Structure 1
Amino acid sequence: MNVLDAFWHLSNFFLPAWAVAALMAGGAKLLWRRELKALAWRRLTVWGGWGGSAALILALVLLGRDGKMLGYGLMLLGISLPQCILSFRPGR
């Protein structure tokens, strides 16, 4: 595997976490427009993306391979938790 192949392999491994984090942040900003007015879309996306990436790595370590449904469930939890904490914590 050369460097370009490794780059695309890693990019495609982390792409679902970042894409779902961006979609989830956009959806949250649309659904809770007034409540999340002060919170930037980019901040929600970045925190969700990092949480989802960490969850994918954890799933890879625990399950031994990528692409299992439990791993994607952990990814959704890893994305949702930071976004929920940022969005609905008191005293934001």
Structure 2
Amino acid sequence: MDFADLFWHLAGFAAPALVLGPALALISKIFWRKTPSALGLPAQAAINFGVCLAVLVFGLVLTGRDGRVVTYGAMVLAAAACQAWWLRRGRR
């Protein structure tokens, strides 16, 4: 496998996290405008991306295959829980 193939494999692996992390931060900013958040939008997007990527790696290690629906479901739940925690933390 050359460098280009490795790059595209890793990009395809991280793509769901790269989409879900910032999208969740933007959606929460749109729907909960009046709720103060503990962090700014770029920080929330980066943290959500990190959480999503960690869940994808954990799912790959646990199941041995990439792209399992269970892993994607766990990624959505983990990112939503992380975003809810940041929104609740901002209220205090």
Give the structure-2-normalised TM-score. 0.88
Greater relative contact order (Cα < 8 A, sep 6+)? 2
Gaps (5+ residues) in structure 1?
none
Identity of aligned residues (%): 33
User: Which residue of structure 2 aligns with residue 75 of structure 1?
Assistant: 75
Matched-pair contact (CA < 8 Å) for 2:56–2:75: yes
| Runs of 4+ more than 6 Å apart | none
Distance apart, 1:77 and its partner CA: 2.1
Instruction: List aligned pairs for 1:1-92, cutoff 5 A.
Output: 1-36=1-36, 39-89=39-89, 90-91=91-92
Matched-pair contact (CA < 8 Å) for 1:52–1:77: no
Gaps (5+ residues) in structure 2?
none
Number of aligned residues: 91
Deviations 1:1-51 (A, max 9, x none): 101110111011011112011111111000000113674211111010000
